[in-house]
Structure 1
């Protein structure tokens, strides 16, 4: 049986996976992001995967701080997740993670994030840039939302409407 904590992580990881495809519905946004990553010396595929896991980590940290269960995750405001992406220290985002991940890609991405966090220097600078890209992506989605609540659940509904895998 899957624990609520594991289910919460899965919801957070799903948010990370659908985030960029939803933002990229306007193709120029993807081109801008990739140009920015490349100009900063960040491999595009690796940078985009780190943005995905960054989103999951920020959402997870906020959910834990707010004592939100997996069932209540959809009500989490995007603004709070965006604030955590740039407002929390990188190592704070790593607190309270599951011991194992159902998806090995998540475990690998978390380990890369962890390595970047503790290596410092240019790696910390890369995480700063990625946190800004994440905040920008979350704000873009929040502004597109037809509802004033702009929650994680709104993102999941839009991902379903766009036919993204869940």
Structure 2
């Protein structure tokens, strides 16, 4: 796989898009998340898009220090740790100048312009995503699963690219 910055981002964005559908294979998981988002005053559609973006940013940040930054090599535990352990500047560093998917550009821009009540919302979403990634890692048949393992599970489940 190519390890150009754009290719790495595309793989990280793909990871972000499969995280929620994978966890939602557990009955009732999506309904509980939607209830939680509404309780926090977050529209479920907006909240889920931000969770996808957080997952992509965290995977990208987890790879930033890697010698060979192929998107599949990051352990899920490192991505989960990056969600709550990296500063904003670390999550936003090294992103492509242009995104091939306008939704990625919009969500990253929304994340980058945070402040006030939005900061609290991002904190809540980051905790939710960390729990989600930890749950996916815990139920993985592979010990110490990587992002590639998660993407293989998505392919096996027939989730769209």
- TM-score, normalised to structure 1's length? 0.92
SS in 1 for 2:41: coil
1:71-98 C-alpha deviation (Å, 9 max, x unpaired): xx21210000000001112232111110
Question: Counterpart in 1 of 2:142?
Answer: 147
SS in 1 for 2:94: coil
Partner Cα distance (2:62, 2:73) in 1: 12
What is the CA-CA distance between 1:49 and the residue it aligns to?
A: 0.2
SS in 2 for 1:27: coil
Question: Counterpart in 1 of 2:158?
Answer: 163
Unaligned runs of 5+ in 1: none
What is the CA-CA distance between 1:67 and the residue it aligns to?
A: 3.7
What is the CA-CA distance between 1:62 and the residue it aligns to?
A: 1.1
- TM-score, normalised to structure 2's length? 0.95
**Backbone CA RMSD of aligned residues:** 1.3
Partner Cα distance (2:143, 2:3) in 1: 32
Match for 2:88 among 87, 90, 102? Answer: 90
Question: Counterpart in 1 of 2:43?
Answer: 43
Unaligned runs of 5+ in 2: none
Extract structure 1 runs of 4+ deviating beyond 6 A: none
Question: Counterpart in 1 of 2:127?
Answer: 132
| Count of aligned residue pairs for this structure pair | 160
What is the CA-CA distance between 1:27 and the residue it aligns to?
A: 3.0
2:106 maps to 1:111: no
Asked whether the equivalents of residues 76 and 137 of structure 2 are also in contact (C-alpha less than 8 Å), the reply is: yes
1:109-129 C-alpha deviation (Å, 9 max, x unpaired): 11111112xxx2211110000
Cα distance, 1:145–1:123 mapped onto 2, change above 3 Å: same
